[in-house]
Structure 1
């Protein structure tokens, strides 16, 4: 009985103005929508669109007349006519909700019946910005359905609509104790939860559903901006380190290669300098002549003769002697040269050529 009382004035008003039938269109905020004009004539030159924001008694705003847009209206840049004379609204807002009447005029005379369309807009508003969202913080999302004349609760009951929150798997979040969902009437659903690490990039949706048909929906995706920024900063700061490490690694490889080559060259030289056979050096040696020279040609009888002994050794070889480095492992042969009648006090000099 109450429903009939509430709808009574609207039905009477429709009959008086020649409006028959009504169409309910649901849209989400920021979505493009087209309102149909079922009584349109070809060419749209006879089409007029009138908009009622709250109720009919407040007076309507003429949007199009004779197919021409009224540019003095507030949202003129977001309105256009389709080829079928439908009213196109670009990026709807909650302020676009209301009643729209499509009329036809021929020779300034009203033609046929009017078509009325009710536009309902679903809007979502978060309680905090994305930059404040991180694991452990609380988030609150409010989903509200805006309707003509603020009669949303009656619309929900009459049209048998449902308004609820779901996750990415379309599971009703009302059944999960982790989420607190509060209702303010039938048209406002507020979701509150504490964010977890796995919530990053998670999407939640608020739906308007009639039986099994989704009329419209709005979604919200969780973004941990601080984590993304830190990761990007770490990547940026690590880039020079990676480059430096790569350069030093390359230099180390080159240096190791040079040292290895140098050591190999030295080893080859060393191996070539080692005497492999004692027959590598063969020669004939001449007789060693030792002579004594007296400092005093005519020494006195009482003076001790002071003679200096010189030794000259000349060696000749049939094979040229190689000039090689001597290593600690090389064997060296020593020879002792003794002179005849040489007393310990005599000075002994040897000259080797």
Structure 2
């Protein structure tokens, strides 16, 4: 009986060890790069390693790496590479890259990696980027579920915040924070003159890591085009006016000549008509 209990306990322990796998949370930003680690490998040969990808919102399950090689059928094959330690490297991250990745050795999962991507958007127009204008910045985390969707057990894993370019938490009367969820935080601030060229930082802090991921937005003020002096414009036109074209000069010279020619032709024609109409014995004479 004791032997059976020991055997059963040993079986359960072995089963527990066999099912043990790491769950890692990786954060990056849109357009950036990310390395997804593959831990607890029994072999250093990546030919036994595969990577799968699952996106809950798209209900998609694909093989990104099979037998240590990037799958040609993957939609991110040109941005994916397998490292010497069998980790998965992604570059040029896109929205659809956020999701759940699994590293398998001999077709058994050893590591689950959950990739979330950070982005900053602003509905403010360029005309509002001036002292006294209102700047609205929304920080959104594309999680391994859906954009801006935070599952109950995931909210304790990270925290979003708006900070200055040196990492200080933004506070004060002119900074308002609107938190729709733990995955989306909006900053509303009234711009001042010294905010020109300032960087506003959205930062995600992971509770299980000392590494923080952030994304900056730079507020460059819009400036109106300088108005020119109308008097200066007139003087420039007067001094820099172009000479009349040659065609206009020829027309001005030829027009008087044409008038004289037509007048002379008309006068001669009228005189011939008058001679033909004169009565017999009467003769027109030219008065010199």
Instruction: Report the Cα offset of residue 190 of structure 1.
Output: 0.6
Q: Residue deviations 1:198-252, cap 9 Å, x none?
A: 111111111112469343111111112537x87xxxxxxxxxxxxxxxxxxxxxx
Report the RMSD for the aligned CA atoms in angstroms: 2.8
Among candidates 196, 205, 212, match of residue 215 of structure 1: 212
Residue 193 (1) aligns with residue 189 (2): yes
Give the 3-state SS of the residue equivalent to 1:45 in structure 2: helix
Instruction: Report the Cα offset of residue 195 of structure 1.
Output: 2.0
Say if 1:19 and 1:116, in contact at 8 Å, map to a contact too: no
Instruction: Report the Cα offset of residue 123 of structure 1.
Output: 1.3
* Corresponding residue of 1:181: 177
Say if 1:53 and 1:148, in contact at 8 Å, map to a contact too: yes
Q: How many residues align?
A: 206
Q: Aligned partners of 1:82, 1:53: CA distance in 2, in Å?
A: 23
**Structure 2 vs 1, CA of residues 190 and 62 (structure 1 numbering), >3 Å: closer, same or farther?**
same
Q: Aligned partners of 1:213, 1:157: CA distance in 2, in Å?
A: 17
Instruction: Report the Cα offset of residue 124 of structure 1.
Output: 1.0
| TM-score relative to the length of structure 2 | 0.63
**More contact order relative to length (CA 8 Å, sep ≥ 6):** 2
| TM-score relative to the length of structure 1 | 0.52
Among candidates 43, 47, 50, match of residue 48 of structure 1: 50
Structure 2: 5+ residue stretches without partners: 1-15, 227-288
* Corresponding residue of 2:281: none
Q: Residue deviations 1:238-278, cap 9 Å, x none?
A: xxxxxxxxxxxxxxxxxxxxxxxxxxxxxxxxxxxxxxxxx
Q: Residue deviations 1:280-316, cap 9 Å, x none?
A: xxxxxxxxxxxxxxxxxxxxxxxxxxxxxxxxxxxxx
Give the 3-state SS of the residue equivalent to 1:192 in structure 2: strand
Q: Aligned partners of 2:151, 2:216: CA distance in 1, in Å?
A: 22
Structure 1: 5+ residue stretches without partners: 1-14, 231-353
Among candidates 108, 113, 138, match of residue 117 of structure 1: 113
Instruction: Report the Cα offset of residue 18 of structure 1.
Output: 4.8
* Corresponding residue of 1:148: 144
Give the 3-state SS of the residue equivalent to 1:152 in structure 2: coil
